[in-house]
Amino acid sequence: MTSDERSREDDQITQGVSLKPALGDFGVWTGGPVSPEQAVEIEKLGYGTVWVGASPAADLAFVEPILEKTESLQVATGIVNIWTADAREVATSYHRIEDAFPGRFLLGVGVGHPEHTEQYTKPYEALVEYLDVLDSATVPTSRRVLAALGPKVLQLAAQRSAGAHPYLTTPVHTGQARELLGPTVLIAPEHTVVLTDDAEKAREVGRETVDFYLGLSNYVNNWKRLGFTDDDVERPGSDRLIDSLVAYGSPDQIAARLTEHRQAGADHVAIQVLGGPDELLSTLEELAGPLGLAG
């Protein structure tokens, strides 16, 4: 980012002008790229953004095919992993996408998990250095967000990006993040859902996803900060924990749970549909009405 661009953004912040990306009230979080055809249907249903997880490669080659087939849908990474995606290549990819589809791509960046990254040393400092490279390559802070759970990285997200993209959290966490960061910073949490009235089935499906994170210290520590006990976060995870992280029930009940994030201060909620790829579009269609989307 040039000094003039940074000065202009600093002036806007000082004047209280929000630099939040316009993502829509609700979006969709997936563990890998959706097809362009799925993206078209997601857009028709009224969802504003597709978040693509699973640490996509630095070339971000999946983005343009989605944007080419849609009209206003945003695509975001949830997230690019700083240890596996070179910052300069990511910056080049960002500019390629931005030149072709201005204002429709949001770069989500994060440090991943210490248990699965050999290079995971001084992650906070490494993230700062990564952002420095993005700055030098003129990737604007207003078009990037950070994966953030704890206060230190949440504050970094506010200082060096448009805001935070927390994963596997609760509306309580969203409220705490909003109180910490103030009104002008984007908060866009992810929340998982299972469309079933069967609580035991929902918990079984939810545990298949949550189990991986029960072995990751950054997630476990965050849940403990939210008041969950050692017993709650021991495998396979207590019903209390799973019910807090996985919304289930009727479409109206799930929508009410997702809306709790919005009421707690979230600007946007990214919905991860569990239960297999065949459940994605049908679940999103069922939720669109109760969420008040203009599908």
pLDDT at 115: 47
Quickly state the pLDDT bin for 119 (edges 50, 70, 90).
Answer: low
On whether residue 245 sits in a domain, the answer given is no
On whether residue 253 sits in a domain, the answer given is no
On whether residue 180 sits in a domain, the answer given is yes
Alpha-carbon span 39 to 47, nearest angstrom: 10
The total domain count for the chain is: 1
Q: Is the pLDDT of residue 12 over 50?
A: no
On whether residue 64 sits in a domain, the answer given is yes
On whether residue 244 sits in a domain, the answer given is no
The tens digit of pLDDT for each residue in 43-68 reads 999 999 999 999 999 999 999 999 99
On whether residue 172 sits in a domain, the answer given is yes
The tens digit of pLDDT for each residue in 92-106 reads 999 999 999 999 999
Cis peptide before 236 (omega within 30 of 0): yes
On whether residue 216 sits in a domain, the answer given is no
Give the rounded distance of the alpha carbon of 163 from its chain centre.
10
- Cα atoms in the Cβ-side hemisphere of radius 13 Å centred on 123: 20
* Residue 18 dihedral angles phi and psi, to the nearest 5°: -75, 135
Q: Is the pLDDT of residue 295 over 80?
A: no
pTM for this prediction: 0.92
Q: Is the pLDDT of residue 17 over 60?
A: no
Q: Is the pLDDT of residue 246 over 60?
A: yes
On whether residue 251 sits in a domain, the answer given is no
- CATH number, position 86: 3.20.20.30
> What domain range is 56 assigned to?
3-191+267-285
